[in-house]
A and B are shown apart, each in its own frame.
Chain A
Amino acid sequence: MNEMINLNPVLLIVVPLGLAFLTPLLGLISKKIAKWLPVVGLLFNLIVALAILPHVLKQPIIVKIAGFAPPFGINLVAGPVGMLLATLIALTGLLVAIYALKYINEGAEQKYHILFLLLLTGATGVVLTGDIFNLFVFFEILCISSYALVAYLGNRAGIESAVKYLIQGSIGSSLLLIGIGLLYGQFGTLNMADLAKQIVSSSDPSVFVPMVLMITGLGIEAAIFPLNAWLPDAHSSAPSSVSAILSGIAIEVGLYAMVRVLFTICHVSNFFMFFLFLGVLTVLVGEMSAFSQKNIKRMLAYSSIGQIGLILFAFSISTHFGVTGGLFQMISHTLGKALLFLSAGYMIYRTGSMEISSFEGIGKKMPLTALFFTIGTLSIIGLPPFVGFSSKFLIIKAALAKGELLYTILMGIVLLGTVIEGTYFFRVIQTIYFKGKDVATERNDSPIVCLISMSIFAVLIIVIGVYPHLVMKILNPAASELFNSIQYIRSVLG
């Protein structure tokens, strides 16, 4: 108990935020320092998060800002879910920052690094906060920096997608704010645990309208099916390192906030059938659109929509198993999709084209990058021994354990989506390795720094895939915190 006092979860938010605003000042000393700041900040975050994580599994840490007890002050809740996602964000952010050391070499580099740090600050804030208005503020930090990062290259496609993303995203955040205002008007509190307590204990809670507004607002950021129009454009026109973060972290954080609203705050039990169908629909739409793409980044972006659908499906099974599977799928999607975007980034950079057909023979030209790309695809499809297999297997088990015909049928449809996913990914692998003439091309692989960051992703994918028990120890308490709102309320309000 004693050593955990020293490590405060606030550090996870404060340090990247402070570094982001220090960047222009330190940039005066040396131009080169800017690109190292995200690496330093996120390495610090990762170490702190890993140090806090074991304590949190026993008992959540509630940080009372300025010493006000939870219903009155703003608080951070570092529970198992929050710390699990914060660790994942710090890890992915660190590896992508290492990749960006070499990859980002044109344009306003300093501003890129500032925005990158702010994006990750926002994401960490959303997963750790215990106050619903704070969630909105961190969410806006995340969104505004991702709008700006999508437009980073400043080319035609980037600006157009950023405009689309911004218009839809700002409607979404306005809806979220109206929902928060309605909840405050009804219950007079902004603390998530206090809100949940009052909603559970009131005899006739009419939270339907605020819930729908909040879910719609967050659903735009999470790219649930009818609200996903911005995603393929934004993810395909951003620089690859930004796409990796957007796909691996931004949409998952949106989905986390949505699930938190559903499970913990509104405590609904009768809407999950709707979300189950929405999840299946999202899987089908995402995978079928991905199937018809010729542009590699667009294909990966649509595949992200499919994966988000799968995660939503897993959460909507609404059993302890299902929630565990959903969280596990979040981890495997983040690792897999970040690796895919990073390796595709240099394949695009070397060939100068995003068309899949131009990747012929790249397996010989860039053997290691192609190998990492293959590992990523196999994990996303869900083949053993990669992490995607364990997470998909858990979801299938959860759906079958429900023991109803409907769940089995829907699971079958989701598996059909996986088959489609396998088809288009294997088509890319075939193009990379087996198509094209055997011209003796020079080896011209990605820079060593980028290969290091990709190899860590690949190693993690294989290690967690072979030993899923490493993360199951964290996933089980995380799922019970998310699923059991009474436990959450007790741990916050005491």
Chain B
Amino acid sequence: MSFLHNYIYYIGAFGLIFIGLFIMIAKRNYIKVIIGLSILETGVNLFLIAVGYISNGTAPIFSKAGIEAENMVDPVPQALVLTAIVIGLAVLGLVLSLAIRLYKHYGTLNLQEIKEQRW
């Protein structure tokens, strides 16, 4: 049980990553693929947060005297996640607008039926 207790964040994050990857690979509907992408990105963000997290940690701000640096949560991964969230938002916006155009052209979102480009 202590393994679960110590690594619960990593297990959760990688669980989400694999669920997202599975959805992206296995599902035929384009909207479902986008949902998979979103889950995958959430998993990656959680993983990055988990890298810098300390349980019972404090914010990394030296506001009062006597605060030790030992218990502070690493701020760098949080900055990374902020950037990654913004990038993820841009990708999601683009992917959804492409979905609208795709539906206009083909009348379907089933990726199995959209196969005009061939080897």
Residue B7 at the A interface, CB < 8 A? no
Residue A157 at the B interface, CB < 8 A? yes
- B44 smallest CB distance to A (angstroms): 5
- A138 smallest CB distance to B (angstroms): 11
* Chain A residues within an 8 Å CB radius of B119: 232, 289
Residue A161 at the B interface, CB < 8 A? yes
**Closest residue of chain A to B79, judged by CB?**
A133
The reply to whether B102 and A170 contact each other, CB–CB distance below 8 Å, is: no
Which residues, 69 to 104 on B, are CB-close (under 8 Å) to A? 76-77, 80, 83-84, 87, 90-91, 94-95, 98-99, 101-102
The reply to whether B51 and A144 contact each other, CB–CB distance below 8 Å, is: no
The residue from A140, A167, A171, A232 contacting B87, defined by CB atoms under 8 A apart: A140
| Distance, CA A136 to CA B32, complexed state (A) | 26
The reply to whether A181 and B77 contact each other, CB–CB distance below 8 Å, is: yes
- A356 smallest CB distance to B (angstroms): 16
The reply to whether B24 and A171 contact each other, CB–CB distance below 8 Å, is: yes
* Chain B residues within an 8 Å CB radius of A236: 117
The reply to whether B114 and A160 contact each other, CB–CB distance below 8 Å, is: yes
| Distance, CA A237 to CA B118, complexed state (A) | 12
Residue A413 at the B interface, CB < 8 A? no
**Closest residue of chain A to B101, judged by CB?**
A159
- Interface flags, A223-238, vs B, CB<8A=1, else 0: 0000000001100110
Residue B116 at the A interface, CB < 8 A? yes
| A174 and B41 contact, Cβ closer than 8 Å, known pairs A140-B87, A160-B116 | yes
* Chain A residues within an 8 Å CB radius of B90: 140, 144
The reply to whether A137 and B24 contact each other, CB–CB distance below 8 Å, is: no
Q: Which of A60-68, A148-156, A241-249 contacts B (4 or more CB under 8 A)?
A: A148-156
The reply to whether B30 and A163 contact each other, CB–CB distance below 8 Å, is: yes
* Chain B residues within an 8 Å CB radius of A161: 117
Residue A346 at the B interface, CB < 8 A? no
**Closest residue of chain B to A166, judged by CB?**
B95
**Closest residue of chain A to B105, judged by CB?**
A156
The residue from A155, A170, A232 contacting B91, defined by CB atoms under 8 A apart: A170
**Closest residue of chain A to B80, judged by CB?**
A133
The reply to whether A167 and B24 contact each other, CB–CB distance below 8 Å, is: yes
The reply to whether B116 and A156 contact each other, CB–CB distance below 8 Å, is: yes
| Distance, CA A159 to CA B96, complexed state (A) | 12
Residue A162 at the B interface, CB < 8 A? yes
| Distance, CA A207 to CA B40, complexed state (A) | 23
Max chain A C-beta neighbours (<10 A), residue from B99, B114, B116, B117: B117
Residue A147 at the B interface, CB < 8 A? yes
| A178 and B24 contact, Cβ closer than 8 Å, known pairs A159-B98, A166-B91 | no
* Chain A residues within an 8 Å CB radius of B87: 137, 140, 144
**Closest residue of chain B to A147, judged by CB?**
B94
| Distance, CA A450 to CA B117, complexed state (A) | 29
* Chain B residues within an 8 Å CB radius of A184: 48, 51, 76-77, 80
Max chain A C-beta neighbours (<10 A), residue from B24, B90, B91: B91
**Closest residue of chain B to A233, judged by CB?**
B117
* Chain A residues within an 8 Å CB radius of B99: 163
Residue A190 at the B interface, CB < 8 A? yes
* Chain A residues within an 8 Å CB radius of B44: 174, 177-178, 181
The reply to whether A144 and B106 contact each other, CB–CB distance below 8 Å, is: no
**Closest residue of chain B to A139, judged by CB?**
B87
| Distance, CA A148 to CA B97, complexed state (A) | 10
The reply to whether B17 and A163 contact each other, CB–CB distance below 8 Å, is: no
Which residues, 1 to 43 on B, are CB-close (under 8 Å) to A? 17, 21, 24, 30, 33, 37, 40-41
Residue A494 at the B interface, CB < 8 A? no
The reply to whether A137 and B83 contact each other, CB–CB distance below 8 Å, is: yes
The residue from A133, A137, A174, A237 contacting B117, defined by CB atoms under 8 A apart: A237
**Closest residue of chain B to A171, judged by CB?**
B24
Residue A185 at the B interface, CB < 8 A? yes
The reply to whether B17 and A151 contact each other, CB–CB distance below 8 Å, is: no
The reply to whether B47 and A163 contact each other, CB–CB distance below 8 Å, is: no
| Distance, CA A181 to CA B80, complexed state (A) | 9
* Chain B residues within an 8 Å CB radius of A147: 94
| A190 and B40 contact, Cβ closer than 8 Å, known pairs A159-B98, A181-B48 | no
The reply to whether A166 and B98 contact each other, CB–CB distance below 8 Å, is: yes
* Chain B residues within an 8 Å CB radius of A155: 105
| Distance, CA A236 to CA B91, complexed state (A) | 22
**Closest residue of chain B to A150, judged by CB?**
B98
- B13 smallest CB distance to A (angstroms): 9
17 contacts between A and B (CB under 8 A): A133-B80, A140-B90, A144-B90, A144-B91, A159-B102, A160-B116, A163-B99, A164-B117, A167-B24, A170-B95, A171-B37, A171-B40, A178-B47, A181-B80, A184-B48, A184-B80, A236-B117
